[in-house]
Amino acid sequence: MKNILSSIPVLILTIAFIGCSSVESETKDWEANQKYVKDKERDFPQFREFFAEDVKNANVLWDKALKIQDEDQKIEAMVKANQTLRSLMDLINSFYSVISSVESSIRDIMRKVPDQERTERINRTITDTETMIRQSKSRIIDGRFDSGDGLKKYLQESTKMIRDGNTVLSDFYKAYVRKQEEADTVRKKIK
């Protein structure tokens, strides 16, 4: 009973997701993703073989999907093929998106929070996060990975560590802004 209940949310999400898709929309996504892979290969030539690996795996899934008669099962298989095709691209995009967010948080803190208001922990987090970003970007640019799976794992782990640093910085900045707003409110009441 417990297993059945725990699988209900997954079933609902799957039905909702498939309900939003159609063979036509998945085919359009497939075509767009094929083009997107080629664009990413130009941006990251050091990963060409890993993109090719994903394309090969996705093509196998896509060909199998096209042979399925039941429309819902076909759509589900097409979705999986599209996810496989986009897997490396999505991880790269997530990696750079998180870096952009962190760099924005660091800029905000450095510009708007006076030195004396920044704690030693925050300064250390900024330094550690900047170092992690530099090292991660360097490793990505270098492109020396044994496999596409190794690259994907590295991107996932790096993105998580950088995101964790951003959480600390973002929480600090929000608390600082809240503290300033409270001080402004008190000053207005005094006037």
Mean pLDDT by 10 residues, the chain (191 residues): 47 50 94 93 93 96 96 96 95 95 93 89 92 94 91 96 92 90 87 71
- How far apart are alpha carbons 123 and 119 in whole angstroms? 6
pTM: 0.77
Degrees, nearest 5: CA angle 74-79-83: 150
Structural domains counted in the chain: 1
Structural domain for 11, as ranges: 2-190
Please report, for residues 141, 150, 162, 164, the alpha-carbon distance to residue 123 in angstroms, rounded to integers and kept in the order given.
Answer: 27, 32, 15, 15
